[in-house]
Amino acid sequence: RLVTDDAAKERFRREARAAGRLQHTNAVAVTDFGETRDGLVYLVMELLEGRPLREVLAREAPLDPARAVSLMLQISAAVEAAHEAGIIHRDLKPGNIFLVQRPDSPYIVKVLDFGIAKIAADDEGNLLDTLTGTGVMIGTPRYMSPEQCDGAQLTPASDVYSLGVILYEMLTGQTPFTGTTPLALALKHSSESPRPPRELVATIPPALEGIVLHALEKKPEERAGDAGEFRRELFAVAERL
C-alpha cells in the first residue's frame, strides 16, 4: 500500500540515510538502501545473533541493578549518538533493543528500528521540516512520553522518558503504567505519578531510583535534556555505587 505513497517513500529514504549516517557500536548498522525495479524500497542491515531485551525481561526480570545499569549505559550511548546526529528515535522499547551474544565476551547491546525516527537535522546540522505528521501519536504507548501521547512537538527529552520506562522495567519487572487501551495508558503517562521502584524491589539503590524518577518527570524540561545527559547521570551513580 505504501509503495504508491510518494511521501512515505521519501520518508523511508530520508530515514534510511539518517540510519546510515548513525555509526555507533550500539546502534544497528545500516549499510545500504534502495528501490527494486518493482518499486519496493529496502534496507540492508548487519546480521545480529542473540535475543531481544523483551525476551530477556520476560524470562529474567527484575534484573540485578548492576546488570540493568550496564545494559542501559550501552542503550543510552546509542541514543546519545542519534541525538547528536539530530535524530529522535520515538519508539524505544525492549522489543527494539537486541543483545548480541558472542562466544567468550559480554553482551553487546544494539538499538534497532529508527524507522519512525523524527529527523530534526540534515548532514550540516540544519533543522529540517520532517515528513512525519505533527499531532499524530506514533510509538508504543507503554513506553511513550506524556508529550508524545499528546501528539505534541518532541525533543530528545522524549526519548529520555522512554529510557526511564525501560530502566524501571529492568529493575522492577513491570512498566510504570499499564492500561487496557492506548488512551488509558496515555492518561496515566500524562497525569499519574509512577510508584517508586523501591516500593516494588527494596534492594534497588536509592540513587538509582532517583535517576529513574528524574527521567520519568512529566515535563520534558524537568528531565535530562537528551540521552547524553541521562547517560552521564547514570554513569556517575554507577561509579559511586
Dihedral sign, Cα of residue 145, residue 147, residue 151, residue 152? negative
Q: What residue has cell string 538499538?
A: 111
CA 156 to chain centroid: 10
Tell me whether residue 91 is one of the annotated catalytic residues: yes
Q: Which residues contact 125 (CB under 8 A, 6 or more apart)?
A: 86
Nearest to 66 by CA among 201, 175, 197, 204: 204
Radius of gyration of the chain (CA): 18
Query: Where do we find the cell 525533543?
Result: 155
Tell me which of 6, 64, 91, 226 is the catalytic residue: 91
Catalytically active residues, by annotation: 91
